[in-house]
Structure 1
Amino acid sequence: MIVTALVDNSRLENRPDLGVERGLSLHISTMGKQLLFDAGSGQTFCDNAARLGIRIQDVDAVAISHRHHDHCNGVSHFIERNTSASIYFRDCESQDYRFKAFGFSSNVGIDKGLLGKNNSQLNLIQDTTAILPNVFLITNINQKYPQPKGNQYLYTESENGCQHDSFDHELMMVVKEEDGLIVFTGCAHNGVLNMVDTAVTLFPDTRIKAVVGGFHLVGLPVFNSIGGSKEDIREIGKQLLSYPIDKLYTGHCTGMKAFGLLKEVLGDKLEHLPTGRRVDV
């Protein structure tokens, strides 16, 4: 498998030509197929793909991890360039998604017009779904561990009122290759440990070659603070070591402060995945 970061919060130092945004989009080449996991918030991932020699029109399927704008609003630009790939969201009630802290509130949700276009490429799933051979989108995520503390600032608003986001709109992706699994987390609002535990439960005694994506260990993004204490972050690293994981590639909502704390525990198992980086898993 080849994974290329089309969009992340940062970029490779030697690629100033690539755009960055606070968002995530990963291109995946595996078993003769091309996947897109998340689409950022705009067309930056498309522009970067062209500069990286990746043809958006050749993508076979798209998985959207959750309904925050920095992962899904770029879909509108994808469907302008690719009219055949199936695009998958987790099904959930229609609601608004908001960030709230210290009296400040902002909309962080999907452009509702995107789902209202009645595009035949869009698919809403409720249960675990194989979107291609050995490519699984998983909606029922174990809750063995606490969710990230940074979730405390994230809410939903609907006709039922305003409440903390339960992240019933989030999914994870697992690709099963001959020599092991690759787990894609998006933002891991349900918790990276819960996602890893889910993969281990569904595919017992199977090596996890890599965990890829954001871990949402940031607290307040504008300050790049950590969600919880330093010891909380280190403990997550220690728990990750208890699972059969070869490598972890992360960026985006993990936050660089939390990345540094995880690195203390995970060492060479953990690597940064900025815009433009391509890894062979």
Structure 2
Amino acid sequence: MKIVTLVENTSSSKELKHKHGLSFYIKTENHKLLFDLGPDETFLENAKKLKIDISKVDTVIISHGHSDHGGGLNAFLENNSIAKIYINKNAFKDLYVKVLGIKKYIGLNMELKSNERIVLVDDTFKIDDELFIFSDVEGSFKTKSNSVLLKEDGMEDDFIHEQNLIITEDDKNVLLTGCSHRGIANILKAALTHVSNIDTVIGGFHLFSPSNKMTEPSEVVENLARELINTSPNFYTCHCTGEKAFENMKKIMGNRLNYMATGDILSI
């Protein structure tokens, strides 16, 4: 399995654009897929530079209903005619971020909901023996950075539109999550109700909010690191974890935790 970071907040190469958002290209034995599409067409530009043919992608999973993960959907549809796009059934809702008391829309393009290639997913969905989607996560992860995210009625977002992906290949299970709004520890526990083990976890942990430049208190970050180091997977994080929180977690987790920037390639 090869995983290429197409879009992330930072970049490991001056040749590649970085933006606040996330997109991974993943090549497995049976699939060429995208997990998230970033905020716009940046994933396309970087894919071309990395010699990745987006027209050959057969599957797309969008982790949740925020535009920094699904804003590139229209660009993808215009450049690929074959892939099915799997989105949680609750993701096409009015979602907002609150900045200085003002609400800003950060949801998906509602006009795309009726596209014939979009598959609306319930709590669990098995695509095939390699790909399994789930959103049946118990518990929540109460953070200051989550509290600025709102749903259509003005209430704090409950993130029922967030889904995660397990890829199974060669007896290994890889868990991918977009922002872990429900809590990465909770998501990992839920994953282990569907498979016997998780070898690798990849995704953001939402310890940083771009709207107010806030990183979660060190106590929250360090407690999470201590909880994760007592589990079995290796972790690769990015995006909404934030660089400051990553460095604090790295001090505790050592080589069990690494960062994935735009252009980075991981072979599993």
Q: TM-score, normalised by structure 1?
A: 0.91
Change (3 A) 1:235 1:107: same
Aligned counterpart for 1:244 among listed residues 232, 254, 257? 232
| Deviation at residue 249 of structure 1 after TM alignment | 1.1
Structure 1 CA distance for aligned equivalents of residues 101 and 267 of structure 2: 44
Alignment of 1:253 with 2:248, yes or no, is no
The 5 A counterparts of 1:209-224 are 209-218=199-208, 220-222=209-211, 224=213
Q: Which amino acid in the other structure matches residue 176 of structure 1?
A: T
Alignment of 1:180 with 2:175, yes or no, is no
Instruction: Report SS of the residue matched to 1:232.
Output: helix
> Is the 8 Å Cα contact of residues 58 and 83 (structure 2) preserved in structure 1?
yes
More deviation, 63-72/133-142: 133-142
Q: Which amino acid in the other structure matches residue 183 of structure 2?
A: G
> Is the 8 Å Cα contact of residues 141 and 181 (structure 2) preserved in structure 1?
no
Q: TM-score, normalised by structure 2?
A: 0.95
Instruction: Report SS of the residue matched to 1:71.
Output: helix
Q: Which amino acid in the other structure matches residue 3 of structure 1?
A: I
Q: Which amino acid in the other structure matches residue 16 of structure 2?
A: L
Partner of 2:10: 10
| Deviation at residue 224 of structure 1 after TM alignment | 3.7
| Deviation at residue 9 of structure 1 after TM alignment | 0.5
Partner of 2:128: 132
Equivalenced residues, count: 268
Partner of 2:181: 189
| Deviation at residue 132 of structure 1 after TM alignment | 3.1
Structure 1 CA distance for aligned equivalents of residues 7 and 63 of structure 2: 15
Aligned counterpart for 2:150 among listed residues 155, 167, 170? 155
Structure 2 CA distance for aligned equivalents of residues 43 and 146 of structure 1: 31
Partner of 1:273: 260
Aligned counterpart for 2:119 among listed residues 118, 123, 126? 123
RMSD: 1.5
For structure 2, the 5+ residue unaligned runs are none
Structure 2 CA distance for aligned equivalents of residues 86 and 179 of structure 1: 25
| Deviation at residue 7 of structure 1 after TM alignment | 0.3
> Is the 8 Å Cα contact of residues 65 and 92 (structure 2) preserved in structure 1?
no
Structure 2 CA distance for aligned equivalents of residues 7 and 239 of structure 1: 28
Q: Which amino acid in the other structure matches residue 203 of structure 1?
A: V
For structure 1, the 5+ residue unaligned runs are none
| Deviation at residue 223 of structure 1 after TM alignment | 5.3
1:100-139 per-position Cα deviation (integer Å, ceiling 9, x unaligned): 1432321111121222xx3211110113111232210102
| Deviation at residue 162 of structure 1 after TM alignment | 1.5
Change (3 A) 1:104 1:169: same
Aligned counterpart for 1:225 among listed residues 191, 214, 221? 214
Q: Which amino acid in the other structure matches residue 235 of structure 1?
A: N
Change (3 A) 1:224 1:270: farther
| Deviation at residue 93 of structure 1 after TM alignment | 7.4
Instruction: Report SS of the residue matched to 2:214.
Output: coil
Aligned counterpart for 1:70 among listed residues 59, 68, 88? 68
| Deviation at residue 232 of structure 1 after TM alignment | 1.1
